[in-house]
Structure 1
Amino acid sequence: MDGRRVAEIFAELGEPAARNVIGMALEQLASILTEVDAALGAGDMAQSVAHAERMSRLAWQIGLLSLAGVAMDLGSTAERGDMPAVAAIRARLLRVGNRSLTAIWDREAMP
């Protein structure tokens, strides 16, 4: 997590609005994580790529750099059709996604 980016969001928006914006982004990321996993499970590479791109952009905006990077890796690998690599990156995306969302939720819960 890029703490500097989170601090910038708070400085730009103020605490109440920043918490709201970050909270909504986290909810969207959790939803996208579920959507990309479902698309991969269904073998829908086009949807997987679209979801991964959305996830990457949103994660980058709120400072979840590792999550953004893994999502970009998944999208580019799915576009190439490298299914063994897609399976490995899928598992990594779920681990990093859950860890990243938990880390920032915990940070937001702190007073």
Structure 2
Amino acid sequence: MVEGGEIVDQILVLTQEEPVRLDADRLRDLYMRLGDVGAEDVVCRAMEEIAVRLSHTERLYRQDRMVDMRKSARSLVAISEQVGMRALCAVAEDVTGCIDAGDQVALAATLSRLLRVGERSLTAIWDLQDATL
């Protein structure tokens, strides 16, 4: 990097940490309605499906298949909402908005955010399950 004619040999690495929000009331309601075993089953299947859909959404982006990518992101909205992953739900909605607007620059940035939030959300719900065992 050149600064005022001088070469600066320091690089600043910015880490992007995304806060995740789990809706404890949504999870509590799920456990009350389905019982421990039923709720655990729903949450585990949702976690697996979210991981698959995140990967699929990214692959569709790389293949420039926007219609299919939008469907995949919309499914992430529904699944994440079901298990109380509010941040993931919001970012997946943002991805669909970028696709609808045809904003490729915003889509690239928002997809990156979706992947970060998705990973952190899965970790958070996994940690929550471990804490309740």
TM-score of the alignment, normalized to the shorter chain, above 0.5: yes
Distance 1:86 1:53 in 2: 14
- What is the SS of the residue equivalent to 2:112? helix
Match of 1:103 in 2: 124
Q: Does 2:60 match 1:60?
A: no
Match of 1:83 in 2: 104
Match of 1:8 in 2: 29
Offset at residue 109 of structure 1 (A): 2.2
Match of 2:58 in 1: 37
Given residue 16 of structure 1, which amino acid in structure 2 is its aligned partner?
V
Q: Which has the higher helix share?
A: 1
Distance 2:130 2:44 in 1: 10
Match of 1:24 among 41, 45, 54: 45
Encode CA deviations 1:18-70: one digit per residue, 9 max, x unaligned.
10111001100110000001001111111110000000011011100100000
- Alignment size in residue pairs: 111
How many percent identity over aligned positions?
33
Question: For structure 2, which runs of at least 5 residues remain unmatched after alignment?
Answer: 1-21
Offset at residue 16 of structure 1 (A): 1.0
CA-based RMSD of the aligned residues comes to 0.7
Runs of 4+ in 1 over 6 A off after TM superposition: none
- Conserved? CA contact 1:45–1:79, under 8 Å: no
- What is the SS of the residue equivalent to 1:70? helix
Distance 1:13 1:7 in 2: 10
- What is the SS of the residue equivalent to 1:63? coil
